[in-house]
Copies of this chain bind each other. A is one copy, B any other.
Amino acid sequence: MTPLELSARAVPGLAEIREGDDLAALVTRAAEDAGIEIAAGDVLVLSQKVVSKAEGRLVRLADVRPAPRAIELAGTLGKDPRAVQVVLDESTAVLRAERGVLITRTRHGLVCANAGVDRSNVPGDDVLCLLPLDPDASARQIRAALPHSPAVVIADSFGRAWRLGLADVAIGCAGLTALDDRRGTRDAGGRQLSATVDAVADQAASAAALARDKAGREAAVVVRGLDRYVTAGDGPGAAAIVRPRDEDLFT
Protein backbone atom coordinates (compact mmCIF):
# COMPACT_ATOMS: atom_id res chain seq x y z
CA MET A 1 0.00 0.00 0.00
CA THR A 2 1.53 3.34 -1.02
CA PRO A 3 1.49 5.82 1.83
CA LEU A 4 -0.99 8.58 1.17
CA GLU A 5 -0.26 12.23 1.58
CA LEU A 6 -2.91 14.87 1.71
CA SER A 7 -2.27 18.55 1.19
CA ALA A 8 -4.50 21.60 1.19
CA ARG A 9 -3.35 24.96 -0.07
CA ALA A 10 -5.38 28.13 -0.27
CA VAL A 11 -5.43 30.10 -3.51
CA PRO A 12 -4.38 33.63 -2.57
CA GLY A 13 -5.40 36.84 -4.26
CA LEU A 14 -8.95 36.07 -5.29
CA ALA A 15 -10.75 39.40 -5.68
CA GLU A 16 -14.18 40.14 -4.21
CA ILE A 17 -16.72 38.12 -6.21
CA ARG A 18 -19.74 39.83 -7.77
CA GLU A 19 -22.88 38.52 -9.41
CA GLY A 20 -22.17 37.14 -12.84
CA ASP A 21 -18.46 36.63 -12.24
CA ASP A 22 -16.91 33.62 -13.93
CA LEU A 23 -15.69 31.89 -10.80
CA ALA A 24 -13.86 29.10 -12.64
CA ALA A 25 -11.86 31.61 -14.67
CA LEU A 26 -11.10 33.85 -11.70
CA VAL A 27 -9.94 30.97 -9.52
CA THR A 28 -7.85 29.49 -12.33
CA ARG A 29 -6.15 32.82 -12.92
CA ALA A 30 -5.52 33.49 -9.22
CA ALA A 31 -4.09 29.99 -8.86
CA GLU A 32 -1.82 30.45 -11.87
CA ASP A 33 -0.63 33.79 -10.49
CA ALA A 34 0.32 31.95 -7.31
CA GLY A 35 2.09 29.19 -9.22
CA ILE A 36 -0.61 26.60 -8.50
CA GLU A 37 -1.87 24.48 -11.36
CA ILE A 38 -5.21 22.93 -10.51
CA ALA A 39 -4.69 19.45 -11.91
CA ALA A 40 -6.85 16.46 -12.74
CA GLY A 41 -7.09 14.47 -9.52
CA ASP A 42 -7.14 17.62 -7.39
CA VAL A 43 -10.19 18.69 -5.42
CA LEU A 44 -11.00 22.39 -5.64
CA VAL A 45 -12.90 23.38 -2.50
CA LEU A 46 -14.82 26.65 -2.84
CA SER A 47 -16.57 28.43 -0.02
CA GLN A 48 -20.32 28.60 -0.41
CA LYS A 49 -20.08 32.35 -0.02
CA VAL A 50 -18.25 33.02 -3.29
CA VAL A 51 -20.46 30.64 -5.23
CA SER A 52 -23.57 32.32 -3.86
CA LYS A 53 -22.21 35.77 -4.65
CA ALA A 54 -21.37 34.79 -8.22
CA GLU A 55 -24.92 33.48 -8.56
CA GLY A 56 -26.40 36.64 -7.10
CA ARG A 57 -27.93 34.83 -4.13
CA LEU A 58 -28.12 38.00 -2.07
CA VAL A 59 -31.19 39.58 -0.50
CA ARG A 60 -31.57 43.11 0.83
CA LEU A 61 -33.36 43.23 4.15
CA ALA A 62 -35.07 46.42 2.99
CA ASP A 63 -36.80 44.39 0.27
CA VAL A 64 -38.22 41.77 2.65
CA ARG A 65 -41.79 41.92 4.04
CA PRO A 66 -41.98 39.56 7.02
CA ALA A 67 -45.17 37.53 7.37
CA PRO A 68 -46.81 36.98 10.78
CA ARG A 69 -45.01 33.68 11.44
CA ALA A 70 -41.61 35.29 10.86
CA ILE A 71 -42.54 38.18 13.14
CA GLU A 72 -43.62 35.76 15.87
CA LEU A 73 -40.50 33.59 15.59
CA ALA A 74 -38.29 36.67 15.47
CA GLY A 75 -39.85 37.85 18.72
CA THR A 76 -39.10 34.53 20.41
CA LEU A 77 -35.56 34.44 19.11
CA GLY A 78 -34.59 38.09 19.35
CA LYS A 79 -33.86 38.27 15.63
CA ASP A 80 -34.76 40.66 12.82
CA PRO A 81 -38.17 39.51 11.46
CA ARG A 82 -37.01 40.18 7.91
CA ALA A 83 -33.97 37.91 8.37
CA VAL A 84 -36.26 35.21 9.81
CA GLN A 85 -38.53 35.56 6.79
CA VAL A 86 -35.57 34.99 4.48
CA VAL A 87 -34.64 31.85 6.45
CA LEU A 88 -38.22 30.55 6.28
CA ASP A 89 -38.32 31.17 2.54
CA GLU A 90 -35.26 28.92 2.20
CA SER A 91 -36.66 26.17 4.43
CA THR A 92 -39.13 23.33 4.24
CA ALA A 93 -39.35 22.86 8.02
CA VAL A 94 -38.40 24.61 11.24
CA LEU A 95 -36.79 21.99 13.47
CA ARG A 96 -35.81 24.09 16.48
CA ALA A 97 -36.47 27.70 17.36
CA GLU A 98 -35.26 28.41 20.87
CA ARG A 99 -32.50 30.17 22.80
CA GLY A 100 -31.78 32.44 19.86
CA VAL A 101 -31.12 29.46 17.59
CA LEU A 102 -33.15 28.76 14.45
CA ILE A 103 -32.46 25.36 12.95
CA THR A 104 -34.30 24.39 9.82
CA ARG A 105 -34.30 21.89 7.02
CA THR A 106 -33.44 23.69 3.80
CA ARG A 107 -34.98 23.05 0.43
CA HIS A 108 -31.87 20.96 -0.32
CA GLY A 109 -32.60 18.78 2.73
CA LEU A 110 -29.69 20.22 4.72
CA VAL A 111 -30.21 20.62 8.46
CA CYS A 112 -28.40 23.69 9.69
CA ALA A 113 -28.72 26.99 11.52
CA ASN A 114 -30.61 29.76 9.70
CA ALA A 115 -30.93 27.69 6.51
CA GLY A 116 -27.33 28.64 5.77
CA VAL A 117 -28.28 32.30 5.44
CA ASP A 118 -25.73 34.73 6.86
CA ARG A 119 -24.18 38.15 6.69
CA SER A 120 -20.45 37.59 7.13
CA ASN A 121 -18.17 38.58 4.25
CA VAL A 122 -21.11 40.15 2.44
CA PRO A 123 -20.84 43.74 1.25
CA GLY A 124 -23.44 46.15 2.60
CA ASP A 125 -25.00 46.40 6.02
CA ASP A 126 -28.41 45.04 5.18
CA VAL A 127 -27.59 42.23 2.77
CA LEU A 128 -28.00 38.52 3.49
CA CYS A 129 -26.34 35.75 1.53
CA LEU A 130 -28.34 32.59 0.74
CA LEU A 131 -27.06 29.14 -0.17
CA PRO A 132 -26.87 28.40 -3.91
CA LEU A 133 -30.19 27.18 -5.29
CA ASP A 134 -28.67 23.87 -6.36
CA PRO A 135 -25.12 23.53 -5.02
CA ASP A 136 -24.47 20.26 -6.87
CA ALA A 137 -25.43 21.93 -10.15
CA SER A 138 -23.17 24.86 -9.25
CA ALA A 139 -20.30 22.43 -8.62
CA ARG A 140 -20.92 20.69 -11.95
CA GLN A 141 -20.96 23.97 -13.84
CA ILE A 142 -17.75 25.18 -12.23
CA ARG A 143 -16.10 21.83 -12.86
CA ALA A 144 -17.07 21.90 -16.52
CA ALA A 145 -15.48 25.34 -16.87
CA LEU A 146 -12.17 24.37 -15.25
CA PRO A 147 -9.23 23.04 -17.25
CA HIS A 148 -8.28 19.42 -16.35
CA SER A 149 -11.64 18.66 -14.72
CA PRO A 150 -10.65 18.50 -11.04
CA ALA A 151 -13.31 17.54 -8.55
CA VAL A 152 -15.21 20.52 -7.13
CA VAL A 153 -16.60 20.80 -3.61
CA ILE A 154 -18.74 23.68 -2.35
CA ALA A 155 -18.22 23.97 1.40
CA ASP A 156 -20.11 25.62 4.21
CA SER A 157 -19.52 25.68 7.97
CA PHE A 158 -22.15 23.79 9.93
CA GLY A 159 -22.75 23.39 13.63
CA ARG A 160 -23.19 19.93 15.10
CA ALA A 161 -25.90 18.73 17.45
CA TRP A 162 -23.65 17.50 20.26
CA ARG A 163 -20.36 19.19 19.59
CA LEU A 164 -19.37 22.82 19.85
CA GLY A 165 -17.75 24.69 17.00
CA LEU A 166 -18.34 24.65 13.29
CA ALA A 167 -16.91 22.13 10.85
CA ASP A 168 -16.96 22.58 7.11
CA VAL A 169 -19.05 20.12 5.12
CA ALA A 170 -19.75 19.66 1.43
CA ILE A 171 -23.10 21.15 0.43
CA GLY A 172 -22.32 20.56 -3.23
CA CYS A 173 -19.84 18.52 -5.19
CA ALA A 174 -19.01 17.16 -8.62
CA GLY A 175 -16.52 14.51 -9.66
CA LEU A 176 -15.85 13.24 -6.15
CA THR A 177 -16.92 10.06 -4.39
CA ALA A 178 -18.73 11.89 -1.61
CA LEU A 179 -19.26 8.73 0.42
CA ASP A 180 -16.73 5.92 0.27
CA ASP A 181 -18.75 2.82 0.99
CA ARG A 182 -16.40 0.13 2.24
CA ARG A 183 -19.05 -2.14 3.69
CA GLY A 184 -18.24 -5.69 2.73
CA THR A 185 -14.50 -5.05 2.59
CA ARG A 186 -12.24 -6.50 5.25
CA ASP A 187 -10.08 -5.03 7.99
CA ALA A 188 -6.42 -5.94 8.58
CA GLY A 189 -7.57 -8.97 10.57
CA GLY A 190 -9.83 -10.20 7.75
CA ARG A 191 -13.03 -9.20 9.57
CA GLN A 192 -15.81 -7.81 7.43
CA LEU A 193 -16.37 -4.10 8.12
CA SER A 194 -20.01 -3.64 8.97
CA ALA A 195 -20.73 0.05 9.06
CA THR A 196 -17.89 1.83 7.39
CA VAL A 197 -18.92 4.54 4.99
CA ASP A 198 -16.44 7.41 5.00
CA ALA A 199 -17.69 10.95 4.48
CA VAL A 200 -14.96 11.83 2.00
CA ALA A 201 -16.40 15.09 0.65
CA ASP A 202 -17.21 16.46 4.11
CA GLN A 203 -13.76 15.60 5.39
CA ALA A 204 -12.17 17.20 2.33
CA ALA A 205 -14.16 20.35 3.12
CA SER A 206 -12.91 20.22 6.72
CA ALA A 207 -9.30 19.78 5.63
CA ALA A 208 -9.68 22.76 3.31
CA ALA A 209 -11.14 24.86 6.13
CA LEU A 210 -7.92 24.46 8.07
CA ALA A 211 -5.93 25.88 5.15
CA ARG A 212 -8.19 28.88 4.71
CA ASP A 213 -8.11 32.31 6.27
CA LYS A 214 -11.83 32.84 6.68
CA ALA A 215 -11.59 36.48 7.63
CA GLY A 216 -9.87 37.14 4.32
CA ARG A 217 -10.76 36.12 0.83
CA GLU A 218 -9.17 32.71 0.58
CA ALA A 219 -12.35 31.23 -0.70
CA ALA A 220 -10.65 28.58 -2.82
CA VAL A 221 -8.46 25.75 -1.58
CA VAL A 222 -6.77 23.08 -3.66
CA VAL A 223 -6.74 19.71 -1.93
CA ARG A 224 -4.28 17.13 -3.26
CA GLY A 225 -3.91 13.45 -2.53
CA LEU A 226 -7.51 12.38 -3.04
CA ASP A 227 -7.06 11.21 -6.63
CA ARG A 228 -8.51 7.84 -5.68
CA TYR A 229 -11.87 9.51 -5.03
CA VAL A 230 -11.91 11.79 -8.08
CA THR A 231 -14.18 10.42 -10.79
CA ALA A 232 -14.52 11.04 -14.53
CA GLY A 233 -18.26 11.56 -14.26
CA ASP A 234 -19.78 14.18 -11.98
CA GLY A 235 -21.64 11.59 -9.89
CA PRO A 236 -24.63 12.18 -7.61
CA GLY A 237 -23.04 15.10 -5.76
CA ALA A 238 -23.46 16.10 -2.14
CA ALA A 239 -27.18 15.34 -2.28
CA ALA A 240 -26.08 11.74 -1.64
CA ILE A 241 -24.73 12.77 1.79
CA VAL A 242 -28.09 14.03 3.07
CA ARG A 243 -29.52 11.40 5.39
CA PRO A 244 -32.95 10.37 4.11
CA ARG A 245 -35.70 11.75 6.31
CA ASP A 246 -37.03 8.31 7.13
CA GLU A 247 -33.65 7.44 8.69
CA ASP A 248 -33.54 10.62 10.78
CA LEU A 249 -33.76 9.70 14.46
CA PHE A 250 -33.36 13.18 15.87
CA THR A 251 -35.93 15.64 14.52
- Residues of A participating in the B interface, judged by any CB pair closer than 8 Å: 1, 3-10, 12, 34, 96, 98-99, 101, 103, 110-111, 113, 119-123, 157, 160-169, 178-180, 182, 185-189, 191, 193-200, 202-204, 206-207, 209-218, 225-226, 240-243, 247-251
Contact = CB atoms under 8 A, between A and B. Distances in A.
B4 A206 contact: no
Given A3-B9, A200-B210, A211-B225, 11 more contacts: A6-B8, A6-B9, A121-B189, A161-B248, A162-B243, A162-B251, A163-B242, A166-B198, A167-B199, A206-B207, A207-B207
A218 B189 CA distance: 14
A198 B8 CA distance: 17
A99 to B, nearest CB: 8
Nearest to A98: B249
A200 B162 CA distance: 16
Nearest to A211: B6
Binding site secondary structure of chain A: loop
A12 B7 contact: no
B210 A203 contact: yes
A34 B207 contact: no
Sorted nearest first, the 3 A-B pairs with minimum C-beta distance are A165-B199, A207-B207, A111-B162
